[in-house]
């Protein structure tokens, strides 16, 4: 596929430049290149980097999160990146082109690292992934994580387990060397994908309450402990309907919904945010990976009595649309029979199953009920008993 990187960069930069203009003629003033330095909650003003004080009746904190750069030498060298927002993406792409990169090192094997490795491989880069753990995508069961690792390796990613990065060093010219406890890896570009932290400095300094997750504490209308101040998105907590607890899960769909809830309340249409169940998906080359709810460790922490079963199987007639091979793991509570979580990896169909099961979690459905759900059966897409029926019935026998 053609990949006009120059065009992509120009389009993205153009998008950023045009943003303020899109609000021209409305009542909305948009300022860019102007950092908020503090919130004066008593005076109802925010102070900006150019010394101005902007008054507010209501304030929405949407400061997002920041990608973590580990506290090691060389973490900020030119050619060393994180991937959090559009400007990071632009910077990475520009570096790839300008330096004619051929070797990439990705530090971390979460879903950002995994997705990025596909992008690098598609551009033909030698790609090495250094991971401090044994298997990628920690949220998943080891058996499913192994399938992800095998898919990475099959597609030419050199996956290094138990790699502890201690420094990045500049080499001759633009060459970088990523140093681990065991050896060094030469690279033309290095990207850290080792997690994110909610960006709460402004809120914290203004005395706004922070929840146990480290993100801004909000209620169902997205208000903070100060009624006139809202917080939304990656910097804020969200109610988890399975944990029955407040968490910080930085995903764009949650941020969008919270933003709309805050906006509705600000605009005078009361609305509450109904919470999340932890649905998430990503693509790793030829595989769909998706998960929802909680795993057995989290379930124990919450006070549930988890039982789990992991099943491999197909769910459609292979003669029609080709094989569908899926690993699906369910977690349920022994005391109530309710589903608590699900994970799926498949060449096709995993996201679909996890979405269906997310609605089951949303309504606190039992395995017994899931085993008899009416789904849109036909052989190219599912069996008379779909794999989620079978997985639910199978785990139910263990409860």
| Site residues for a second copy per CB under 8 A | 241, 251-257, 273-283, 288, 290-292, 320-321, 351-352, 354-356, 358-360, 362-363, 365, 369, 372-378, 380-382, 384-385
293 within 8 A of 304, measured Cβ to Cβ: no
Provide the minimum distance between the beta carbon of 116 and a second copy in the complex, in angstroms, as a whole number.
13
Q: Which two three-digit tokens encode residue 33?
A: 């290149």
Q: Which is nearer to a second copy, 104 or 351 (CB)?
A: 351
Pick the closer one to a second copy by CB: 150 or 321.
321
Q: What's the closest the beta carbon of residue 358 comes to a second copy, in angstroms?
A: 6
CB nearer a second copy, residue 145 or residue 292: 292
Which residue lies nearer to a second copy by CB, 69 or 283?
A: 283
Q: What is the nearest approach in angstroms of a second copy to the Cβ of residue 285?
A: 11
Q: Compare residues 221 and 356 and give the one whose CB is closer to a second copy.
A: 356
CB 298 to a second copy: min, Å: 16
CB of 353 to a second copy, least distance (A): 8
Contacts of 92 (CB under 8 A, 6+ apart): 81, 83, 189, 191
Q: What is the 3-state secondary structure (H, E, C) of the chain?
A: CCCCHHHHHHHHHHHHHHCHHHHCCCCCCCCCCCCEEEEECCCCEEEECCCCEEECCCEEECCCEEECCCCCCCCCCCCEEECCCHHHHHHHHHHHHHCCCCEEEEECCCHHHHHHHHHHHHCCCEEEEECCCCCCCCCCCHHHHHHHHHHHHHCCEEEECCCCEEEEEECCCCCEEEEECCCEEEECEEEECCCEEECCHHHHHCCCCECCCCCECCCCCCECCCCCEEECHHHECEEECCCCEEECCCCHHHHHHHHHHHHHHHCCCCCCCCCECCCEEEEECCEEEEEEECCHHHHHHHCCCEEEEEEEECCCCHHHHCCCCEEEEEEEECCCCEEEEEEEEECCCHHHHHHHHHHHHHCCCEHHHHCCCCCCCCCCCCCCCCHHHHHHHHHHHHC
Toward a second copy, which CB reaches closer, 124 or 286?
Answer: 286
CB-nearer residue toward a second copy: 74 or 110: 110
- List the structure tokens of 34: 């102007």
Closest approach of Cβ 161 to a second copy, in Å?
Answer: 25
The packing angle between helices 142-154 and 111-122, to 10°, is 20
Shortest Cβ 213–a second copy spacing (Å):
17
What would the two tokens of residue 112 be? 């950002």
Minimal distance, residue 367 CB to a second copy, in Å = 13
Nearer to a second copy, 311 or 365 (CB): 365
Shortest spacing between CB 215 and a second copy, in angstroms: 17
Q: Which is nearer to a second copy, 275 or 327 (CB)?
A: 275
């Amino acid at each position: 596929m053609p990949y006009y990187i120059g065009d992509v960069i120009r389009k993205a930069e153009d998008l950023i430049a045009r943003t303020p203009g899109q609000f021209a003629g409305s009542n909305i003033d948009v300022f860019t290149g102007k950092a908020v330095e503090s919130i004066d909650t008593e005076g109802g003003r925010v102070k900006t980097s150019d010394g101005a004080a902007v008054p507010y009746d209501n304030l929405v904190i949407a400061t997002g999160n920041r990608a973590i750069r580990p506290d090691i030498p060389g973490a900020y060298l030119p050619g060393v990146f994180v991937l959090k927002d559009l400007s990071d993406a632009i910077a990475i792409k520009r570096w790839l082109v300008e330096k004619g990169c051929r070797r990439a090192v990705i530090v971390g094997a979460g879903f950002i690292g995994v997705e990025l490795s596909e992008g690098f491989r598609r551009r033909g880069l030698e790609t090495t992934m250094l991971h401090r753990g044994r298997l990628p995508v920690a949220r998943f069961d080891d058996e499913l994580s192994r399938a992800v690792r095998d898919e990475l390796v099959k597609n030419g990613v050199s996956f290094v387990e138990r790699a502890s990065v201690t420094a990045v060093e500049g080499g001759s010219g633009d060459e970088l060397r990523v140093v681990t406890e065991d050896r060094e890896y030469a690279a033309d570009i290095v990207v850290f994908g080792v997690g994110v932290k909610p960006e709460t400095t402004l809120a914290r300094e203004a005395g706004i309450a922070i929840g146990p997750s480290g993100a801004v504490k909000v209620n169902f209308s997205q208000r903070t402990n100060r009624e006139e101040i809202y917080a939304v998105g990656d910097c804020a907590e969200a109610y988890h309907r399975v944990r029955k607890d407040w968490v910080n899960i930085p995903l764009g769909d949650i941020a969008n919904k919270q933003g709309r809830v805050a906006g509705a309340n600000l605009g005078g249409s009361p609305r509450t945010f109904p919470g999340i169940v932890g649905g998430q998906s990503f693509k790793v080359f030829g595989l769909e990976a998706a998960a929802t709810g909680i795993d057995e460790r989290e379930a124990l922490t919450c006070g549930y009595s988890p039982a789990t079963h992991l099943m491999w199987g197909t769910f459609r007639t292979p003669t029609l649309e080709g094989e569908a091979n899926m690993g699906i793991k369910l977690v349920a509570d022994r005391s109530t029979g309710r589903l608590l979580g699900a994970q799926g990896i498949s060449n096709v169909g995993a996201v679909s199953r996890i979405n269906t099961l997310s609605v089951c979690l949303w309504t606190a459905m039992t395995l017994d009920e899931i085993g008899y759900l009416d789904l849109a059966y036909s052989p190219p897409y599912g069996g008379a008993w779909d794999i989620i029926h079978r997985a639910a019935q199978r785990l139910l026998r263990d409860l």
